Structure 1
């Protein structure tokens, strides 16, 4: 016997999926009040919508970096417009993907990414695609993100986290092509000192740099 479609049931499905009340109600009606079946229906709808939008070009997006212990990850997520890139649902999606990549690994995140991206495609009406993803490990890590559009992770041998952050900020602003060019550039906070001399004053060296810009 079908379960009654109560306001509480619709709200539960809405809270779980973030999809509109009307869509949740229709899914529950089709599923005869079975919330598990309704979730499966909404998942298929989201997948179908994502498939239709899959060929649309994603020119905008955002970058996020998170760090725990001796590991940092940079995740980029692309969408069609700047408006959606600043949308709360899009930002929350990017944060969730970054958390998964940081705690469970990039490959694990990629495996389940589509299931959490598709509902946001359905909500925003735009195509959304994962961009580049990087992981950096090291004892001294610093990062900098500018306007959610450009991000840099720097790993140092020697020095400290603040120094690594300063170098990451400099790279974001000055966009050196390679490490030798970076070392010869005047430090953006103190043009009288090159990045190479700045690092030397801390007896530090660059181990690795990862960066991405939308």
Structure 2
């Protein structure tokens, strides 16, 4: 029942409430971005949704307008050179993700689920196929996000996404949600250009 209907109902109610309650914060962040760097307030990017359909994810823009398009951050030689001063703060605190509340409200995403892959992250998409993780709505946060985030290797991230698919329930979503709050407050797993950092640490 939860997986097939109630989850979407809760997503809609909570995202609507979040959009209303957080509107002052969203407006302040938008104003700061506009005043501190040239370019649009929001960043749109083609991402992979449920059943590998595409949608445009919304984020607050944290990078300069001359950043290579559709390139995952971990593939940039020096991602820090492209990040705006306010962008560093927004990314570290995950506040840049807040506009995705609109994606959740529209039904493109869920609050909890696998993070939506870039359309050209073929390795991640292929790995997720093995676990059925492309068959559900992607999420604002998820099981992989609180178990390593940017530090995870692609195969480990996909396996954790598959574990989430198997364990979907209201209580497990609550665990992911509150685990995300803890991770954000501790700034855990946020490494610019850092995919696979956990493996690198073990090998070093």
TM-score above 0.5: no
Into which bin does the TM-score normalised by the smaller protein fall? Answer: under 0.3
Q: Kindly indicate whether structure 1 or structure 2 has the higher relative contact order, using CA contacts under 8 Å at least 6 residues apart.
A: 2
Larger helix percent? 2
